[in-house]
Amino acid sequence: MNDFIISVNSSRFDVRILNDSELSIDEEKINYELIQVDSYSYLLKLDNKVFKLTSEKINGELFKVLIDGNHYDITVRTGLQDKAFKLLESNLRIQSHHTNVKAPMPGLILKIRKSVGEKVEQGESIIILEAMKMENDLKAPASGFIEKIFVTEGSAVEKGTSLLSID
């Protein structure tokens, strides 16, 4: 048996090829026949309906398909590929999170080294905070883009005041 996860535009379907003439889509059995007309064109018969389709492979899993005059973006993955993709996607969501940078002590904002929309790398200098007559170089706790700056140069801040956010 061949199991696939097929995404058509924003809809997902579990497709299982049962044999040479039968498949299931989301557990519903359907008779099928696929006849190749030329390099990119096919006739697809699902139960008693016939569809003319043209397919262009974009990469290993993405296809541009024209079926009876309608365009579709179709992604085809095996069940294992889909699980791996979901795991990577969730890992990226965990890594790219919103971070508020707060003042570690009361002081005066001497210099803001970044502006809204700029990319910042973890450990990069973002703000110079003067406290007890010493300049403290505040570093970015995470990589991302400066989403918002809550203070201005010359402003006094208390410990715990939000200085900027990184997304």
Residue 10, pLDDT > 80, answer: no
Q: Which one, of 124, 122, 104, 121, lies nearest residue 112 by Cα?
A: 124
Structural domains of the chain ordered from first start: 2-82 (3.30.700.30), 99-166 (2.40.50.100)
Q: What is the pLDDT of residues 48-80, one digit of tens each?
A: 899 999 998 888 888 999 998 899 889 998 888
Give the Cα separation of 136 and 147 in Å (integer).
22
Q: Predicted confidence band at 1 (pLDDT cuts at 50, 70, 90)?
A: low
Give the Cα separation of 10 and 154 in Å (integer).
49
Global pTM value = 0.50
Residue 159, pLDDT > 90, answer: yes
| pLDDT over 70, % of the chain | 95
Q: What is the pLDDT of residues 78-117, one digit of tens each?
A: 888 888 877 777 665 555 567 899 999 999 999 999 999 9
Q: Based on the number of CB atoms within 10 Å of its own CB, is 107 exposed (0-12), middle (13-18) or buried (19 or more)?
A: buried
